[in-house]
Structure 1
Amino acid sequence: MSPHLQGIQLIAFDLDGTLIDSVPDLAAAVDAMLADLGLPPAGEAKVRDWVGNGSRKLVERALAHAGDGAGEAAGREDAHERFLRHYAATPCARTRLYPGVREALTALKAQGFTLALITNKPEAFIAPILSALSLQAYFAMAVGGDSLPRKKPDPLPLTHVAERLGVAPEAALMVGDSRHDVEAGRRAGFRTLAVPYGYNHGEPVSLAGPDGEVESLAELV
């Protein structure tokens, strides 16, 4: 067993940038939204640095980059609704698992760990993506960015999941790719583990001070 898992019963995973590379589909939806508004496209490289704080923040960053960040709240809401419609049409056309993810989830579940998903992605998109990638059977519980009143880096989603699954925070591990995952885990009393390949706004996730770091989730098994 990996030393990162000593004393752990519950492993909570972030989704985007940790288990899946969803940026190609997110970027397509962002650019379609911008096109609707007569604004220039952002492109995949920019969107990769904007992901991680939920869909509203992603849209706000795209609008600001396009020079339309000071619009009225109603305009931002319209842009967000347009983004959601475009993303809902094809949420998993080019989204892929990172190497080692399926093998790790399969082995961890077989070893008796309780697995959960805690993401800032809107809840409506979680089931379609998990289904498309045949991941739904791995998780005892999944929480989205709009499932509760607050999302990561607030600790609420983590403490909620731990309480619902009957696991003490000190026996839980938060695995993610960004400083928000590390902060949420620390504030919830979870142990934290980071992967360096995801989306962390252009910063090395090691700067957030996780308890551990692995190059691939396959290192856990």
Structure 2
Amino acid sequence: MTVDAHDLTQVEAVIFDLDGTMVNTLGDFQVALNRTMADLNLPSVPDALIEQAIGKGSEHLIRSVLAYQIASPQAKGVGQTCQALSVDDFFDRAWQRYQYHYKTINGQFSEVYPGVLVALHHLAAKGVPMACLTNKPLVFAQTLLKEKSLTHFFAWVFGGDSFERKKPDPLPILKTCDALGTAVKRTLMVGDSSNDADAAHAAGCPVVLVTYGYNHGQPVQNTPAAAWLDTLADLPVRLS
């Protein structure tokens, strides 16, 4: 469904989000977070919570999970003092263990969504410059793209630690457009969540959202966008 199709007729470059847009990384998050919780003697993490917390960077993800785990009745059985502790009491250790576990399994429990390679090959054949912009730490993003043989499509890759602020702040998009050498209004943001849309709207560039991503547990069609796509295989048609 398109609401602003004219916004997509003058696109000169495309910025892609990573998690939930190009690669289904839920499995990686599940494994890394649950191994982290086991190290902290905390309960396993509900899948729904992980989906809702993905997208705003690793620190937000870990803090959201810890807040839930500490407040959960299940936590009462894993330590008498757990209920009296705060997220900050767990965070440093959780961050350390999560970094270790995610690095160990990055890409092993994830898969590229159907239609992604069709879109990337089509854009590459047309000579459209592309960048990957994610709130995932840069080293994790680079490793994942390499693991999934996607690196060569992107002139630039930026992570959540590449700039002073993360999406939904517009700064990362503005900086990525600077790197691509394209005008913001002629650069398309492709993502899966309100994070991507809010950043794009604030920056002044058109945005397309996929319907299969995470979006913090909310229907992405409720987020204003130029289009909502069930598959990125439809993207080249809208750019042709």
Q: TM-score range by the shorter chain?
A: over 0.9
Q: Structure 1 residues 144-153 or 209-218, which shifts more?
A: 209-218
Give the Cα–Cα distance (whole angstroms) in 2 for the partners of residues 107 and 20 of structure 1.
18
Confirm or deny that 1:107 pairs with 2:110: no
1:25 maps onto 2:40 in alignment? no
Q: Does the 8 Å CA contact 1:33/1:83 hold for their aligned counterparts? A: yes
CA contact (8 A) 1:24 1:44 kept: no
1:73 aligns with 2:88: yes
Letter in 2 for 1:190: C
Cα drift, residue 46 of structure 1: 2.6
Displacement of 1:94 in angstroms is 1.4
Letter in 1 for 2:120: L
Shift of residue 104 of structure 1? 0.8
CA distance in 2 between counterparts of 1:63 and 1:175 reads 30
2:169 corresponding residue in structure 1: 154
Quick check: 1:42 aligned with 2:57?
no
AA aligned opposite 1:148: F
Counterpart AA for 2:67: A
Query: 2-side partners of 1:169 and 1:74: how far apart?
Result: 42
Q: Matched residues in 2 for 1:176 and 1:208: separation? A: 11
Q: CA deviation at 1:181?
A: 0.2
Matched-pair identity in %: 37
Match of 1:57 in 2: 60
Instruction: Give the distance between the partners of 1:72 and 1:50, measured in 2 at CA.
Output: 15
Quote the residue 1:137 is aligned against: 152
Match of 1:85 in 2: 100
1:100 CA drift (Å): 0.6
Report the structure, 1 or 2, having the larger helix content: 2
Query: Against the structure 1 CA distance between its residues 213 and 71, is the aligned structure 2 distance closer, same or farther, given a 3 Å change threshold?
Result: same
Counterparts of 1:184 and 1:219 in 2: how far apart (Å)? Answer: 23
The residue aligned with 2:80 is none
Question: Secondary structure, in 3 states, of the residue corresponding to 1:117?
Answer: strand
Distance in 2, matches of 1:67 and 1:74, equals 11
For the aligned residue pairs, the C-alpha RMSD in angstroms reads 1.6
| Partners of 2:70 and 2:86 within 8 A in 1 | no
**What is the rounded CA distance, in whole Å, between the counterparts of 1:25 and 1:210 in structure 2?**
28
SS at match of 1:7: coil
Q: Residue deviations 1:189-219, cap 9 Å, x none?
A: 1101001100111111121211211111000
Tell me which residue corresponds to 1:220. 235
Q: Aligned to 2:130, what secondary structure does the other structure show?
A: strand
Return the TM-score normalized by structure 2.
0.87
Aligned to 2:196: 181
Aligned-partner SS, 1:194: strand
The 10-residue stretch of structure 1 (158-167 or 2-11) with the greater mean CA deviation from structure 2: 2-11
Extract unaligned runs of 5+ from structure 1: none
Mark the structure with the bigger radius of gyration.
2
Q: Structure 1 residue 59: deviation in Å?
A: 0.5
Segments of 5+ residues of structure 2 without an aligned counterpart are 72-82
Distance 2:202 2:92 in 1: 31
1:74 Cα offset (Å) = 5.6
Q: TM-score, normalised by structure 1?
A: 0.95
User: What displacement does 1:61 show?
Assistant: 1.1
Displacement of 1:43 after TM fit? 3.6
C-alpha spacing 1:100/1:72, structure 2 compared with 1 (3 Å): closer
